[in-house]
Amino acid sequence: MKQKLTQQEQVRRDKMKDLMDMGIDPFGHAFKRDAKCGEIVAKYDGFSKEELEEKEVHVTIAGRIMRKRRQGKAGFMNVQDVSGDIQIYCRKDVLGEEQYEIFKKNDIGDIVGIEGLVMKTDHGQLSIRAMQYTHLSKALRPLPEKFHGLTDTEERFRRRYVDLIMNPEAKKVALTRPKIIRAVQEYLDGQGLMEVETPVLQPILGGAAARPFVTHHNALNKDFYLRIATELPLKRLIVGGLEGVYEIGRLFRNEGMDATHNPEFTTVEAYVAYSDLHGMMDLIEGLSNDEVALDYIKNVVHADGIITTKSSFIQYGKKIGLYTIHRYFVLDSMALQNIIKQAKNAVQPDAIEILPGVLQPKIVRYITKHSPVPVMCGGLVTVKEDVIHCLQSGAIAVSTTRKDLWDL
């Protein structure tokens, strides 16, 4: 039966044939890049238009077209890769007739390679002025509508690859998960345990009460089960003398399924010889202690510092080289005196932050006068005047989620 195409799908196939007629493989070839979109933005967004023109920064990127607009002999598009996105500026008189024609035929969702110069537009938007334009792969199906993304929960789970393209939060989860697993591995390795892999196919069920997936082993002419737990194989390794083992492994349970219950999932299971219930509790609780959390922030997230209300975080954070800011809430006169007292402790933070930041100027001045470390203001800072009042009262900086106030 012939597949029925939508109008957009047919248009995209027609453009694919046009590319083939031009001698271009619609599904591309290897392309060598030397930069990623998000890295370029992080590195050069702070430079002015004139500074970038003087630097003449050449970059080669590749990614998926997410937005596109064209006016006559010039056009803009946004290209997205795993690190973020950046605007591309294309001109016919720079690219030439053939490459600009390829730009015209590319649709949202297509993957392209760009060689060009980092620049800023007259409106201050960091961009790449395309000098070479390469088609890499044609998207034969349109992406979901750009303003709403993929919103149906069931459709998101069924088409994870589209969810990753359209929803930044989904991509963030995918990129964070392996970092969490690596942190767990580093912690358990540091406790002297050995990571192992045990068989997924099991001849006998054990370790949990659950309905299994059953498969047949042809060579042995015997039914096997996809494991429902890693417990028994790990305990056999303890019997064998390994003394401390753990596995981060997939389990399979042929039971109900919904948005929060998957028949295939990952668990962390560990066993230690000569330990007991309390010893194992201490081992697992260690995953969430202050030092492990801060080591993760420094070594995996690569943060420069922390803002916290916990004194223990300040002490260990300074020990491992993080910039530490102690957050205090000024609720009454007792809290005010407590701030000064704690700030003079032996282990001092690099700065303190007082909330709400819109306190009366005399209170901010009192704290800055008696505090042995610099003072920041944060919380309820919503307009330019709030920022000015905080700085005029002696604060060295202001923290706010209002992005329109960041560039004052």
CB 168 within 8 A of CB 189: no
Whether the model pTM is above 0.75: no
CB 363 within 8 A of CB 335: no
CB 120 within 8 A of CB 153: no
Residue partners of 5: CB distance under 8 A and separation at least 6: 13
CB 164 within 8 A of CB 170: yes
Q: Could you tell me the fold of the domain covering 298-405?
A: TIM Barrel (3.20.20)
Q: What is the structure's pLDDT at 360?
A: 74
CA distance 230 to 250: 9
Mean pLDDT of the chain: 90
pLDDT tens track for 47-78 = 999 999 999 999 999 999 999 998 889 999 99
Domain boundaries, the chain: 7-137, 191-288, 298-405
pLDDT tens track for 79-132 = 999 999 999 999 999 999 999 999 999 999 999 999 999 999 999 999 999 999
Three state DSSP letters for 56-125: CCEEEEEEEEEEEEEECCEEEEEEEECCEEEEEEEEHHHHCHHHHHHHHHCCCCCEEEEEEEEEECCCCC
Angle separating helix axes 290-299 and 311-319, nearest 10 degrees: 50
CA distance 348 to 7: 66
pLDDT tens track for 295-347 = 888 887 889 999 988 887 888 899 999 999 999 888 777 888 888 777 777 67
**Rounded percentage of the chain residues whose pLDDT exceeds 70:** 98
Whether residue 185 has pLDDT greater than 80: yes
Ranges 98-107, 184-193, 373-382, most confident? 98-107
Q: What is the structure's pLDDT at 116?
A: 97
Q: What is the CATH number of domain 191-288?
A: 3.30.930.10
pLDDT tens track for 203-257 = 988 888 899 999 999 999 999 999 999 999 999 999 999 999 999 999 999 988 8
From the options 2.40.50.140, 3.50.50.60, 3.30.1300.10, 3.40.50.1240, give the CATH code of 7-137: 2.40.50.140
